[in-house]
């Protein structure tokens, strides 16, 4: 199954753009600032969350307006197609709405139809980033595999904010109220941690099947920020009340999780590997995850400027892997030359100032 009949209205620099006749490979080329990444961002909004830029809704409408829409048809060439759409209306500019076949739906429900993954240049510093950046990366991978993950994360964050508020008050918190908040934290936090651990383990197992060359193969490990077992986490929260009250915040739990990444061939932490090695490991992780995600639902993989810094051998290996994968692939580049190996099988568009022309 793949996305086709894609439409963007008043989104970023696209007043009205349509893409049809899509394929397994889909290539957008044009100068920097033409609007290529904007198309990928629009597609990323057909998944739960804030999209590949994590941008506020107010930044997305064309010309500083207060509304936009993105739609696409999910089809496999047989059976009944599914129309997915997301939009912001001028009367509610801070609320993103979702429709499936014209009926109102939740943003979380998009994850039941489509498994979206992406890789952008902004993610190149993942291994040197903060633990929070890697948690967001893991959560996005987890959400593509388990749409219920977003609900657990939201409920845990709400309980965490409430516990931190109680701990920060001058007066000692009501122990009964605190007990209830910590029960919610333990329930949703334990589920959150287990989901992250399963995702990292699944991607790590998939990566173990990857060759060390031409991409640097990483090994992954889940670094828990606290006890994962529900009862153990609940006990840890009770025992740490005095310490956390002194600190003014909760110091244990999945909000302190991390993902440890090591380059397999050298047994060197990814954070101190070369820029090229880090990029290669990030590509390998993205490909392994996309292959996993596409097993249960239609998969879409968005790769922004991914070929720009790859030598011909690695580009060819990347295209071979993508060709064999089950996900529909969207790529961007400033020129078509690096994509010559897939030119005969890709749907291609030229992007210029928010306008699309089929090549």
| 34 labeled part of a ligand binding site | yes
| 36 labeled part of a ligand binding site | yes
| 253 labeled part of a ligand binding site | no
Q: Which two tokens stand for residue 223?
A: 């670094």
Contact of 36 with 330, CB cutoff 8 Å: no
> Residue 296 class from Cβ within 10 Å (0-12 exposed, 13-18 middle, 19+ buried)?
exposed
| 21 labeled part of a ligand binding site | no
Q: Which two tokens stand for residue 153?
A: 């994360």
- Which DSSP state fits 61? B
Please name which of 298, 233, 275 lies closest in space to residue 79, comparing C-alpha atoms.
Answer: 298
Residue whose tokens read 């006890």: 227
- CB count within 10 Å of CB 39 equals 28
- Cα separation of 6 and 206, whole Å? 31
Please name which of 100, 95, 96, 69 lies closest in space to residue 83, comparing C-alpha atoms.
Answer: 100
| 182 labeled part of a ligand binding site | no
| 32 labeled part of a ligand binding site | yes
Nearest 10 degrees: Cα torsion 232, 237, 239, 245? 170
Q: Which residues sit opposite 69 in a β-bridge?
A: 9, 87
Binding residues for ATP: 30-37
Binding residues: 30-37
């Amino acid at each position: 199954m793949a996305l086709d009949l894609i439409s963007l209205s008043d989104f970023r620099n696209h007043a009205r753009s349509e893409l049809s006749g899509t394929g397994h490979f889909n290539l957008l080329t044009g100068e920097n600032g033409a609007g290529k990444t904007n198309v990928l961002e629009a597609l990323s909004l057909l998944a739960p969350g804030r999209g590949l830029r994590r941008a506020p809704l107010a930044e997305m409408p064309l010309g500083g307006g207060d509304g936009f829409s993105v739609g696409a048809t999910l089809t496999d060439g047989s059976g009944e197609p599914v129309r997915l759409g997301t939009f912001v209306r001028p009367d509610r500019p801070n609320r993103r709405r979702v429709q499936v076949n014209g009926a109102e739906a939740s943003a979380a429900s998009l994850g039941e139809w489509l498994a979206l993954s992406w890789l952008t240049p902004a993610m190149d510093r993942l291994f040197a980033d903060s633990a929070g950046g890697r948690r967001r990366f893991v959560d996005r991978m987890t959400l593509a595999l388990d749409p219920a993950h977003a609900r657990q994360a939201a409920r845990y964050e709400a309980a965490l904010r409430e516990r931190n508020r109680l701990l920060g008050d001058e007066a000692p918190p009501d122990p009964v109220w605190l007990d209830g908040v910590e029960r919610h934290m333990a329930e949703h936090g334990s589920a959150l941690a287990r989901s992250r651990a399963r995702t990292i383990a699944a991607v790590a197992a998939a990566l173990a099947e990857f060759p060390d060359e031409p991409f640097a193969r990483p090994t992954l490990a889940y670094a828990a920020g606290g006890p994962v077992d529900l009862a153990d986490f609940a006990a840890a929260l009770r025992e740490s009340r005095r310490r956390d009250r002194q600190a003014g915040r909760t110091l244990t739990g999945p909000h302190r999780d991390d993902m440890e990444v090591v380059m397999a061939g050298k047994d060197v932490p990814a954070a101190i590997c070369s820029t090229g090695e880090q990029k290669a490991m990030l590509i390998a992780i993205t490909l392994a995850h996309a292959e996993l995600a596409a097993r249960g639902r239609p998969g879409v993989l968005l790769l922004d400027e991914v070929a720009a810094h790859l030598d011909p051998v690695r580009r060819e290996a990347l295209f071979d892997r993508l060709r064999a994968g089950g996900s529909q692939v969207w790529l961007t580049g400033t020129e078509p030359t690096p994509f010559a190996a897939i030119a005969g099988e890709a749907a291609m568009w030229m992007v210029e100032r928010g306008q699309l022309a089929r090549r």
